[in-house]
Amino acid sequence: MITVLESINLSTLYLNQKGIESPRTNAELLLADILNCKRLDLYLSFERPLSEEEVQKYREHIKRRGNFEPLQYIIGKVEFCGLELKVNPSVLIPRPETELMVENILNQIPKEQKMIILDIGSGSGNIAIALAVNLPLSKIVSTDVSEEAVLVAKENSERHKVSERIKFVKHNILKNDLSSFPMFDLVVSNPPYVSKESYSTLQKEIKNFEPTIAVTDESDGYTFYREISAKVSAKLKENGKLFFEVAQEQSEGVVEIMSKNNFRNIGVIKDYQEIDRIIFGERI
Ligand code: GLN
């Protein structure tokens, strides 16, 4: 019979040997998921013995994590802006930097405003859903090139009861235009922005498990900023806003692309690590 504490200690050692960052936290979060409790609750039940079934499942999940599979794919969920979302390997795992983008959009828009919003690159639906929940009069179109991603995003929107105000559409922004879409008040995107060159330097968790097409443009990293800025320029109402998440050191390049495409009052917001992360501007 093995207890909660013993199994956490053993798993921590294993993950540490495998080179996983924060092994103890990972070991605790994986066990909390299996026991269906909060991580801190484990501390109140250190002496609780694990059942045969729990041990087997825990061993399996720890092994997957030791193989660098992201924790979020193993437990199948993530929290984004206070909302629990389902994730699987067909969608990018939502990041805290993207929460920052949503918070900044919400700071700039009165809650009761009726907004028509376009979100390019739905992924799990995180951005569209968080905006729909917090802007109750808004209507959102959210596009993604991946059919599997559209399915996950739809399921998440149903779970949070905003599916009637979000239309998820399979659409390739690089290949297709936006002529069949309405005029928008706001466009937002966290596009695949990692350059081909930097992609090879990313962690195994990302390279081996997250969808490549959600992470890199396999070029200079600016492909989507150029295409989106040019295409949405014609689809934004006067004074309509465009918000982008960018990678470290891309802000200058993206500001330039936006200026060339009729955007003014361009602003840059830094993330928690003081890195330029969100760029926004107004269509003149
Ligand atoms: N909108 C999703 C996110 O921000 C997906 C973005 C993407 O696939 N590049 O996490």
Instruction: List the domains of the chain with CATH numbers.
Output: 4-67 (1.10.8), 81-283 (3.40.50.150)
Predicted local confidence at residue 173, as pLDDT: 98
pLDDT tier, 96 (very low <50, low <70, confident <90, very high otherwise): very high
Span from the CA of 191 to the centroid of ligand 1 (angstroms): 6
Residue nearest to atom 2 of ligand 1 (CA): 123
Whole-number Å distance, alpha carbon 21 to ligand 1 midpoint, is 23
Quote the CA–CA distance of 253 and 160 in Å, as a whole number: 36
Taking residues 205-220, what's their average pLDDT?
Answer: 98
Indicate which residue's Cα is closest to atom 7 of ligand 1. Answer: 214
Q: Is the CB of 125 under 6 A from ligand 1?
A: no
* Nearest residue by C-alpha to atom 5 in ligand 1: 123
Nearest ligand 1 atom, CA 149: 8
Sequence letter at residue 80: F
What pLDDT digit, counting tens, does each position of 103-138 carry? 999 999 999 999 999 999 999 999 999 999 999 999
Nearest partner of 30 among 22, 98, 202, 52, judged by Cα:
22
Which atom of ligand 1 is nearest the CA belonging to 127? 1
Residue 192 beta carbon below 6 angstroms from any ligand 1 atom: yes
**Count of beta carbons in the 10 Å neighbourhood of residue 46:** 11
Distance 91 CA to ligand 1 centre (A): 7
pLDDT tens column, 126-174: 999 999 999 999 999 999 999 999 999 999 999 999 999 999 999 999 9
Identify the pLDDT of residue 65.
Answer: 98
Which residue, by CA, sits nearest to atom 10 of ligand 1? 94
Which one of 72, 81, 92, 142 would you pick to mutate in the ligand 1 pocket, going by the greatest count of ligand atoms within 8 A of its CB? 92
What is the chain's mean pLDDT, rounded? 97
Count of residues in the chain = 284
At CA 124, angle to CA 122 and CA 125, rounded to 5?
Answer: 50
pLDDT at 233: 94
Distance CA 60, CA 57 (A): 5
> Backbone phi, then psi, for 90, in 5-degree steps?
-90, 0
Which pair of tokens denotes residue 145? 């090139």
Residue 5 CA to ligand 1 centre (angstroms)? 36
